[in-house]
Amino acid sequence: MTLKNNDKHPPVKIEILKPIGFLRSSTVFKLSEFPQKEMQDALVSFPTFLKFTENGFYPKHRIERIPIQHVYIKFHSWIKQDQIDIVRRNLINLRMPMSVSDSNEKIVGLQIANDSLFAFSILTTIIVMIMCFFSLTSSMYTNVIQQSKEIAVLRALGTRRFPIMRIYLYESFILILSSTIMGLIIGSFVAYTYISQRSLFTQLQLPFIFPYQMTIIVFIMAIILSFFASIIPIYLLLFDSITNVMRRIQ
């Protein structure tokens, strides 16, 4: 369809396109997966671009005459940095009027900041786990003191120390393991919801990265701290005489 304004301005040609699909995001172009969003970039091939501009900017139908401002090269993940440097040097040696830069050099500062935040989060997690250890130790000590009579009766009946100790170890382990799994599920759900909301508002594809390293650290510390939180209170009763334990009850 061609629209004619007046004699001073050339006619305006309108083309109706049917897109193949809508991209969620891009590092260069303004794209969104929602078709109703205005001011989006349309990605077309060079022949299609020349077809739309045959009476405009590039009337000679030559792809070589299309000015290219930026060219982005993405390597596979298994390509080493030495190989990328070789490609970069070869492009520079072409002695063409262009500048060649490596995006990895621009994100070094961001990577350092990301590593610092990750180390800070691990340190915060360790501090929180230590604080939870004192709370769990206090709870287990109160539980053991309240069950001193049962412990004394079991020992008077001839039950050995290790089976009694194993019961409280299992109790502490199940308690802290269930709390860890529940906190992991709730935290992951809240984080995924927040990231989805930010992606919807900013129109940027924000990936959900599960913290595997921190999860492993939390599970290991949970097992270790649950052992010490239960072994300390029960040790005070199991290695004391039965008569002293019965006197504490009175």
Same domain, 9 and 63: yes
Provide the token pair at 71: 């060219």
- What b/e sequence results for 159-171 when a residue is b if at least 16 CB atoms lie within 10 Å of its CB, and e otherwise? eeeeebbeebbeb
Same domain, 56 and 118: no
Same domain, 171 and 221: yes
Answer whether residue 240 is part of any domain.
yes
Same domain, 129 and 242: yes
**Amino acid 51: pLDDT:** 75
Same domain, 25 and 86: no
Burial class of residue 58, CB neighbours in 10 A (0-12, 13-18, 19+): middle
Domain boundary among 45, 67, 89: 67
- Rounded CA-CA distance 130/222 in Å is 10
**Contact status, residue 213 vs residue 135, Cβ threshold 8 Å:** no
Of 208, 205, 183, give the one whose Cα is nearest residue 193: 208
**Amino acid 3: pLDDT:** 47
Same domain, 135 and 11: no
Answer whether residue 72 is part of any domain.
no
**Amino acid 2: pLDDT:** 46
Same domain, 114 and 193: yes
What lies within 8 Å, CB to CB, of 144 at 6+ separation is 151, 168, 233, 234, 236, 237
Low-confidence stretches of the chain (pLDDT beneath 50): 1-3
Same domain, 57 and 165: no
* DSSP β-bridge partners for residue 237: none
Q: How many helices (H) and strands (E) does the chain have?
A: 8, 2
- Rounded CA-CA distance 218/224 in Å is 10
**Residue 142 backbone phi and psi in degrees, to 5:** -65, -40
Same domain, 231 and 152: yes
**Residue 69 backbone phi and psi in degrees, to 5:** -90, -40
Residue 118: domain span: 107-249
Same domain, 4 and 126: no
Same domain, 202 and 245: yes
Label residue 200 left, alpha or beta by phi (over 0 means left) and psi (-120 to 50 means alpha): alpha
- Rounded CA-CA distance 57/53 in Å is 6
**Residue 235 backbone phi and psi in degrees, to 5:** -65, -35
Same domain, 116 and 98: no
**Amino acid 248: pLDDT:** 66
